[in-house]
Chain A
Amino acid sequence: MSALVGVKRVIDYAQRIRVRADKKGVETANVKMSMNPFDEIAVEEALRLKEKGHVKEVVAFTMGPTQSSQILLTALAMGADRGIHVVTDFEIESIHVAKALKKVVELEKPGVVILGKQAIDGDANQTGQYLAGLLNCSIATNASVVEKDGDSYKVTREIDGGLQTLKISSPAVITADLRLNEPRFATLPNIMKAKKKPVDKKTPEELGLTLKAHVETLKVEEPPTRQAGKKLESVDELVENLKKLGMI
Chain B
Amino acid sequence: MFLKNGVKSLSSVSSTFKLNGKGVNRSYFEPSFQRNPKFSKINSKDVNHFKEILGKSGVLTLEEDPDGVASYNTDWMKKYKGNGTLVLRPKTTEQVSQILKYANERKLAVVPQGGNTGLVGGSVPVFDEIVISTQLMNQIEDLDDVSGIVTCQSGVVLANLESYLHSKGFTVPLDLGAKGSCQIGGNVATNAGGVRLLRYGSLHGSVLGVEAVLADGTIVDCATKLRKDNTGYDIKQLFIGSEGTLGIITKVVILTPPRPESVNVAFFALDSFEDVKKLFVRTKKELGEILSAFEFVDRGSIDIVVKHSKTGARDPFEDKHPFYVLIETSGSNKQHDEEKLNHFLEQLLSEEDGLVKDGTVAQQTQQIQSLWALRESVPEALQREGAVYKYDISIPLSNFYQIVELMRERIGSKGTVIGYGHIGDSNLHLNITTPSFDQSAYDLIEPFVYEFTSKHRGSISAEHGIGVMKPKVLHYSKSEPAVDVMRRIKESLDPNGILNPYKVLPGK
Contact B365 A188 (CB under 8 A): no
Closest to B266 in A: A188
Instruction: Bits for B93-128, please: 1 = Cβ < 8 Å to A, else 0.
Output: 000000000000000000000000000000000000
Instruction: Bits for A8-23, please: 1 = Cβ < 8 Å to B, else 0.
Output: 0000111110000000
Known contacts A188-B345, A192-B345, A192-B349; A74/B363 CB under 8 A: yes
Instruction: Bits for A66-80, please: 1 = Cβ < 8 Å to B, else 0.
Output: 000000001001100
Contact A188 B363 (CB under 8 A): no
Distance A9 CA – B497 CA, assembled complex (angstroms) = 61
- B435: chain A residues at CB < 8 Å are none
Chain B residues 356 to 395 lying within 8 A of chain A, measured CB to CB, are: 356, 358-367, 369-371
Q: How many A-B residue pairs have CB under 8 A?
A: 55
Closest to B363 in A: A74
Closest to A191 in B: B361
- B314: chain A residues at CB < 8 Å are 182
- A15: chain B residues at CB < 8 Å are 365
> Is A24 positioned at the interface, with any CB of B under 8 Å from its CB?
no
B219 → chain A closest CB, angstroms: 28
Distance A12 CA – B263 CA, assembled complex (angstroms) = 14
> Is A187 positioned at the interface, with any CB of B under 8 Å from its CB?
yes
Distance A34 CA – B368 CA, assembled complex (angstroms) = 12
Known contacts A187-B359, A191-B345, A192-B345; A13/B365 CB under 8 A: yes
> Is B346 positioned at the interface, with any CB of A under 8 Å from its CB?
yes
Contact B358 A188 (CB under 8 A): yes
> Is B58 positioned at the interface, with any CB of A under 8 Å from its CB?
no
Distance A12 CA – B316 CA, assembled complex (angstroms) = 22
> Is A162 positioned at the interface, with any CB of B under 8 Å from its CB?
no
Task: Choose from B358, B359, B363 the contact partner of A77 (Cβ within 8 Å).
Answer: B363
> Is B232 positioned at the interface, with any CB of A under 8 Å from its CB?
no
Contact A182 B312 (CB under 8 A): yes
Chain B interface size band reads 20 to 34
Contact A185 B316 (CB under 8 A): yes
Chain A interface size band reads 20 to 34
Instruction: Bits for B413-452, please: 1 = Cβ < 8 Å to A, else 0.
Output: 0000000000000000000000000000000000000000
- B360: chain A residues at CB < 8 Å are 185-188, 191
> Is A201 positioned at the interface, with any CB of B under 8 Å from its CB?
no
> Is B267 positioned at the interface, with any CB of A under 8 Å from its CB?
yes
> Is A128 positioned at the interface, with any CB of B under 8 Å from its CB?
no
B488 → chain A closest CB, angstroms: 46
A20 → chain B closest CB, angstroms: 18
Known contacts A187-B317, A188-B360; A32/B365 CB under 8 A: yes
Task: Choose from A14, A35, A188, A233 the contact partner of B349 (Cβ within 8 Å).
Answer: A188
A28 → chain B closest CB, angstroms: 15
Task: Choose from A12, A187, A233 the contact partner of B364 (Cβ within 8 Å).
Answer: A12
Chain A residues 73 to 91 lying within 8 A of chain B, measured CB to CB, are: 74, 77-78
Distance A188 CA – B363 CA, assembled complex (angstroms) = 11
Chain A residues 185 to 225 lying within 8 A of chain B, measured CB to CB, are: 185-189, 191-192
Distance A182 CA – B366 CA, assembled complex (angstroms) = 12
> Is A6 positioned at the interface, with any CB of B under 8 Å from its CB?
no
Contact A187 B363 (CB under 8 A): no
Contacts beyond the supplied A35-B363, A186-B361, A187-B360: 10 A-B pairs with Cβ under 8 Å: A13-B366, A16-B167, A32-B365, A34-B364, A37-B366, A185-B360, A187-B358, A187-B359, A191-B361, A192-B346
A binding-site residues for B, Cβ under 8 Å: 12-16, 32, 34-35, 37, 74, 77-78, 182, 185-189, 191-192, 233
B binding-site residues for A, Cβ under 8 Å: 57, 167, 267, 312, 314, 316-317, 345-346, 348-349, 356, 358-367, 369-371
Cβ contacts A to B, 21 pairs, < 8 Å: A13-B365, A14-B369, A15-B365, A32-B365, A34-B364, A35-B363, A37-B366, A74-B363, A182-B314, A185-B316, A185-B317, A185-B362, A187-B359, A188-B345, A188-B356, A188-B358, A188-B361, A191-B345, A191-B361, A192-B349, A233-B57
